[in-house]
């Protein structure tokens, strides 16, 4: 539940902010009547993502054996890559996002407003579909993924409304930094899972890399709600192979370093 909540909270807030920026600017520039095109674009984007997510889920549901291993490994790998790219893109472009959107609105006809809203929201929505599919494969409870995702989405919409209706009292920069770090931990877990699934697919069973780095046989670290939470969120496994642990930290360490380091100042 934790990973799906965080995914929809962040992705949903990004989409909410984009829509809010468009609507606010249209109102301030005397084009409030054109807001319906933004709403239509948003609605069609949401519907498209729901349909796409349902189709993909039904297509992948029930895959077993080597096909299942390869599919889950590929989903986890692609999700980790896209999630990481999204995090760094947002860090780079967040400060200029409002200015860029306003410039597009100034140069846009009514139908183009629909397209701007649709493209912006559908991008976040399709990313969310991919991330939720990867979260579902790491969780032992599909219903908890759905519940966590719905709660995160509701919270994202509420935050988006609060930010633009309440005078920006929420520190957006800090929010995105904290959630980015948590999502990097989630992406590291996905990277480790992808290696595990490909190992299963290839039938690699022998050697030190395939041996468990630890084995936890009882307690909250091996079963139950807490175990499911940390397994889905952080990639924890009660009997993680050495290759999975190595992959986790090989991904986590450089990604965190490059995200958290301060950008170098250009020479005058």
Per-residue model confidence as pLDDT tens digits over 34-58: 889 889 999 999 999 989 888 888 8
Strand, coil or helix: 241: strand
Q: Is 266 within the bounds of a domain?
A: no
Domain count for the chain, please give it.
Answer: 1
Look-up: residue for tokens 């991008």?
123
The contacts found for 38-41 with CB under 8 angstroms, 24 or more apart, are 38/113, 38/114, 38/116, 38/117, 39/117, 40/114, 40/117, 41/113, 41/114, 41/115, 41/116, 41/117, 41/118, 41/121
| pLDDT higher than 50, residue 168 | yes
Q: Is 139 within the bounds of a domain?
A: yes
**In the structure, what pLDDT confidence band is assigned to residue 170 with cuts at 50, 70 and 90?**
low
**pLDDT reported for residue 174:** 81
* CA–CA separation, 234 and 263 (whole Å): 27
Tell me the per-residue pLDDT of 192-248, one tens digit each, with 9 for 90 and over. Answer: 999 999 999 999 989 999 999 999 988 888 888 788 888 878 888 899 999 999 999
* CA–CA separation, 118 and 122 (whole Å): 6
Q: How far from the centroid of its chain's Cα atoms is residue 48's Cα?
A: 18
Q: Is 18 within the bounds of a domain?
A: yes
Residues near 138 by beta carbon (within 8 Å), at least 6 away in sequence: 3, 76, 189, 190, 193, 231, 232, 235
**Which pTM value belongs to this model?**
0.80
Range of the domain at 121: 2-260
Tell me the per-residue pLDDT of 115-148, one tens digit each, with 9 for 90 and over. Answer: 888 988 898 888 888 888 887 766 656 677 778 8
Residue-wise burial string across 170-190, b where 16 or more C-beta atoms lie within 10 A, e elsewhere:
eeeeeebeebbebbbbbbbbb
Q: Is 267 within the bounds of a domain?
A: no
Strand, coil or helix: 125: helix
8 Å CB contact between 152 and 8: yes
Residue 142, burial from CB neighbour count under 10 angstroms (0-12, 13-18, 19+): middle
Q: Is 268 within the bounds of a domain?
A: no
Q: Is 70 within the bounds of a domain?
A: yes
Residue 83, burial from CB neighbour count under 10 angstroms (0-12, 13-18, 19+): buried
Q: In degrees, to the nearest 5, what angle opens at C-alpha 11 toward C-alphas 7 and 14?
A: 150
Q: Is 265 within the bounds of a domain?
A: no
Q: Is 158 within the bounds of a domain?
A: yes
Q: Please state the length of the chain.
A: 268
């Amino acid at each position: 539940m934790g990973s799906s909540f965080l995914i929809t909270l962040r992705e949903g807030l990004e989409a909410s902010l984009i829509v809010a920026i468009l609507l606010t600017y249209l109102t301030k520039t005397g084009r409030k009547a054109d807001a319906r095109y933004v709403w239509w674009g948003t609605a069609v984007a949401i519907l498209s993502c729901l349909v796409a997510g349902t189709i993909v889920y039904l297509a992948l549901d029930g895959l077993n054996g080597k096909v299942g291993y390869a599919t889950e490994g590929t989903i986890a790998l692609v999700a980790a890559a896209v999630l990481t790219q999204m995090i760094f893109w947002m860090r780079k472009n967040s400060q200029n996002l409002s200015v860029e959107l306003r410039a597009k609105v100034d140069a846009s006809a009514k139908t183009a407003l629909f397209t701007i809203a649709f493209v912006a929201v559908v991008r976040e929505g399709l990313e969310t579909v991919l991330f939720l599919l990867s979260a579902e494969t790491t969780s032992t409870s599909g219903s908890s993924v759905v519940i966590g995702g719905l709660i995160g989405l509701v919270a994202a919409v509420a935050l988006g409304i609060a930010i633009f209706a309440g005078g920006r009292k929420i520190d957006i920069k800090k929010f995105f930094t904290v959630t980015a770090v948590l999502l990097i931990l989630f992406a590291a877990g996905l990277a480790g899972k992808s290696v595990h699934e490909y190992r299963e697919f290839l039938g690699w069973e022998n050697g030190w890399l395939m041996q468990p780095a630890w084995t936890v046989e009882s307690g909250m670290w091996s079963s139950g709600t807490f175990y499911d939470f940390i397994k889905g969120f952080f990639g924890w496994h009660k009997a993680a192979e050495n290759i999975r642990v190595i992959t986790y930290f090989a991904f986590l360490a450089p990604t965190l370093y490059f995200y958290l380091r301060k950008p170098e100042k250009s020479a005058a």
